[in-house]
């Protein structure tokens, strides 16, 4: 039986197929990065016009790490801060590819958000991007003066590779806590377990935005150690995981990896809201102009986040 595809998602996939462009594996690194920027620029809604959108930086293991602060309020009292790690296989994303999404999440949550511009592979392969994410998160947790804000807790969130980083940072901070605790983590279609050989990778190998060939390309560039929980967080200790909103997409080649993580959280007794968005693909969060129904999915995610934050 064929998988259900929403009408607006199918229209977008048909349009992509008609373009008949080269695959990421056939592009140069510069072309792959430019195509990712172009895809999101074409398919995502415009960024929100927020009172505060400001570029910052913080110290990292190999120099300064770029950050971007979003806040829907000019001033606010002490509160949690959302820390966002962008997707792109640890290879092709940056602050600009996820600018619109970050502005939307900050607006929906009415909280400050700091996006992390970690180093990327192949120039900086595993574990360098994770080291940057950890350093930036700890810096944010310390309520640095550059934020002009007292941080009471962290909400870590990211899509795809950023979803992997979200889980990994939660594990690293559980073992060696930061100044402010992780009060909620939100991995969005994350790579948590090894996707190679999974049923979803074969079922949605081609024609669903993210392809099997692209997954293999990113893996070769990032060069993760499959025995290291910082690469495959399914291997980590789930008993210390923070409360979680876990989001997957039903037409995603790495869907089963996210499902694996949800099962591990349930087995460990962790408070988790699991949302699998039906009829959409990987990256639906950045396709909200081309696939209008995806905006409602993002709003469902934000509602789940608020619900988890309000729990006793």
- Active-site positions read 160, 252, 282
Q: Are 253 and 179 in contact (CB under 8 A)?
A: no
Closest CA to 248 of 207, 181, 191: 191
Using CA atoms, how far apart are residues 195 and 255, in angstroms rounded to an integer? 9
Using CA atoms, how far apart are residues 262 and 127, in angstroms rounded to an integer? 24
Structure tokens at 285: 């969060």
Structure tokens at 70: 């979003």
Distance, C-alpha 163 to centroid of its chain? 4
Using CA atoms, how far apart are residues 221 and 193, in angstroms rounded to an integer? 18
Q: Are 94 and 40 in contact (CB under 8 A)?
A: no
Residue 260 in 3-state DSSP?
helix
């Amino acid at each position: 039986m064929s998988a259900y595809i929403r009408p607006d998602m199918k229209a977008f996939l048909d349009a992509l197929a008609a373009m008949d462009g080269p695959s990421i594996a056939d592009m140069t690194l510069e072309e792959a990065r430019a195509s990712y920027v172009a895809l999101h620029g074409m398919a995502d809604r415009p960024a929100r016009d927020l009172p505060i959108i400001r570029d910052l930086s913080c110290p990292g293991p190999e120099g300064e790490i770029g950050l971007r602060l979003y806040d829907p309020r000019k001033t606010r009292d002490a509160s949690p801060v959302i820390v966002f790690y962008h997707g792109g296989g640890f290879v092709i994303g940056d602050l600009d590819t996820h600018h619109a999404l970050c502005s939307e999440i900050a607006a929906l949550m009415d909280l400050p958000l700091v996006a992390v511009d970690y180093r990327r592979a192949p120039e900086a392969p595993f574990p360098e991007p994770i080291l940057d994410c950890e350093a930036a998160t700890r810096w944010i947790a310390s309520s640095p003066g550059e934020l002009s804000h007292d941080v009471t807790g962290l909400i870590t969130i990211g899509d795809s590779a950023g979803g992997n980083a979200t889980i990994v940072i939660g594990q690293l901070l559980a073992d060696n806590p930061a100044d402010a605790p992780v009060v909620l983590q939100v991995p969005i279609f994350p790579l948590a377990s090894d996707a190679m050989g999974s049923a979803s990778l074969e079922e949605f190998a081609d024609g669903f935005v993210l392809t099997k060939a692209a997954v293999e390309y990113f893996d070769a560039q990032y060069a993760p150690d499959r025995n290291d929980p910082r690469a495959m967080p399914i291997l980590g200790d789930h008993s210390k995981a923070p409360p979680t909103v876990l989001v997957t997409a039903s037409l995603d080649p790495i869907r089963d990896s996210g499902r694996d993580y949800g099962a591990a959280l349930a087995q460990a007794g962790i408070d988790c809201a699991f949302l699998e968005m039906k009829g959409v693909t990987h990256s639906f969060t950045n396709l909200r102009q081309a696939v209008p129904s995806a905006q409602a999915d993002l709003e469902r995610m934000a509602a789940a986040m608020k619900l988890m934050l309000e729990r006793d």
